[in-house]
């Protein structure tokens, strides 16, 4: 049996203590090494769809404070670069800004709640306040939301204020009181689907803010389907036959933030019509378009006419 001297074990232990550790190759271990137990990485590669960024090894991470999940911030880092292109001061500064924004959002949430607003979330990014109200976007609900936001921000507006009306069923599905910073980059699809209409209040603006519909929302798709059916009925009575209209053909829309007779915001739709069913050939161009204005609250498609262009 080979026996080793006790001092040899001691030397091996000392050498292992002084052995240089491999530098972290991704953002998660780097943060844990520099800020033990403080942060969690929610997404380490937000530039995944950017081919050139991937080629250059550029990454973007969404990071959250483990002690307060509402506190989120972004970090740009690089794969294969010393210290990932980061330093502790950059992280500390981003964390401080995120805490400042969340503290402001919570303060505004309290003021809005005191003003009587219900079923809403609030977020602050660089001093701009976003208030999301999860209620049906009827004229009374819109006016009530706007009135209560104006009461809460009177004389102390933080800068630009965005007021959005979202699908009531979406309330609480992604977050509750505070809109997390990461939502604006990772929740864009959810935002587009669920935001029905919005307005922007500029500080010191002389003209009143006006509501505009979001043409990318699920609700706007429903409005378009309804408008198309009414457009086709009009076409049956007013277009020379034969003609062909299909709801699957690309339609154009233009937003009408202000409309006559106090009807509220509306959406203009242009639906193409053809002399025969399109085959996909380039010479099968539309004969024209059926254009009209759709008023969602009244569910009517009016001011209808045919026109040559969109």
Tens digits of residue pLDDT in 183-224: 999 999 999 999 999 999 988 777 888 999 999 999 999 999
> Per-residue pLDDT for the chain (310 aa), expressed as one digit of tens each?
445 455 444 444 544 444 445 667 789 999 999 999 999 999 998 876 667 767 677 889 999 999 999 999 999 998 888 888 899 999 999 999 999 999 999 999 999 999 999 999 999 998 899 999 999 999 999 999 999 999 999 888 678 999 999 999 999 999 999 999 999 999 999 999 999 999 999 887 778 889 999 999 999 999 999 999 999 999 999 999 999 999 988 899 999 886 656 678 999 999 999 988 877 665 578 999 999 999 999 999 999 999 887 7
Q: Residue 283: its pLDDT value, please?
A: 59
Residues 203 and 222 both lie in one domain = no
Domain for residue 63, yes or no? yes
Residues 202 and 113 both lie in one domain = yes
Residues 197 and 230 both lie in one domain = no
Tens digits of residue pLDDT in 55-73: 677 889 999 999 999 999 9
Average pLDDT over all residues of the chain: 88
Number of domains in the chain: 3
Domain for residue 235, yes or no? yes
Report the alpha-carbon distance of residue 251 to residue 204 in Å, rounded.
37
Strand order in the sheet with 212-213: 120-125, 128-133, 161-166, 195-201, 212-213
Domain for residue 258, yes or no? yes
Report the alpha-carbon distance of residue 153 to residue 40 in Å, rounded.
34
Report the alpha-carbon distance of residue 212 to residue 176 in Å, rounded.
24
Report the alpha-carbon distance of residue 108 to residue 280 in Å, rounded.
53
Q: Domain boundary at 86, 115, 144, which?
A: 86
Report the alpha-carbon distance of residue 275 to residue 286 in Å, rounded.
8
Report the alpha-carbon distance of residue 295 to residue 278 in Å, rounded.
29
Q: Domain boundary at 209, 237, 253, which?
A: 209
Cβ within 8 Å of residue 204, ≥6 positions away = none
pTM: 0.86
Q: Domain boundary at 86, 115, 143, which?
A: 86
Residues 194 and 115 both lie in one domain = yes
Residues 151 and 170 both lie in one domain = yes
Residues 203 and 108 both lie in one domain = yes
Residues 138 and 117 both lie in one domain = yes
Residues 223 and 274 both lie in one domain = yes
Adjacent-strand bridge partners of 65: 39, 68
Q: Which domain holds residue 181?
A: 104-209
């Amino acid at each position: 049996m080979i026996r080793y001297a006790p001092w040899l074990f001691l030397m091996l232990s000392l050498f292992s203590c002084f052995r240089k550790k491999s530098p972290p190759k991704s953002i998660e271990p780097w943060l844990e090494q520099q800020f033990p137990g403080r942060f969690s990485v929610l997404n380490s590669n937000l530039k995944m769809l950017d081919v050139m960024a991937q080629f250059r090894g550029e990454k973007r991470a969404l990071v959250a404070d483990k002690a307060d999940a509402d506190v989120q911030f972004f970090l740009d880092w690089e794969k294969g670069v010393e210290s990932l292109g980061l330093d502790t001061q950059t992280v500390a500064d981003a964390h401080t800004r995120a805490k400042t924004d969340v503290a402001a959002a919570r303060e505004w949430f309290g003021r809005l709640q005191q003003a009587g607003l219900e079923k809403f979330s609030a977020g602050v990014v660089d001093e701009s306040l976003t208030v999301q109200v999860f209620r049906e976007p009827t004229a009374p609900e819109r006016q009530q939301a706007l009135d209560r936001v104006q009461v809460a921000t009177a004389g102390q507006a933080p800068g630009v204020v965005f007021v959005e009306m979202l699908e009531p069923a979406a309330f609480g599905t992604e977050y509750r009181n505070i809109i997390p910073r990461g939502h604006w980059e990772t929740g864009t699809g959810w935002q587009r689907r669920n935001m029905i209409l919005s307005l922007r209040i500029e500080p010191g603006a002389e003209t009143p803010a006006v509501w505009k519909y979001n043409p990318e929302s699920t609700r706007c798709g429903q409005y378009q389907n309804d408008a198309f059916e009414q457009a086709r009925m009009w076409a049956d009575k007013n277009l020379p036959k034969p003609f062909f209209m299909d709801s699957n053909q690309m339609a154009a829309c233009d937003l009408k933030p202000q409309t006559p007779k106090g009807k509220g915001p509306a959406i203009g739709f242009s639906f193409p019509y053809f002399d025969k069913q399109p085959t996909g050939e380039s010479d099968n161009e539309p004969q024209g378009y059926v254009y009209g204005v759709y008023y969602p609250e009244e569910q009517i498609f009016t001011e209808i006419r045919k026109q040559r262009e969109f």
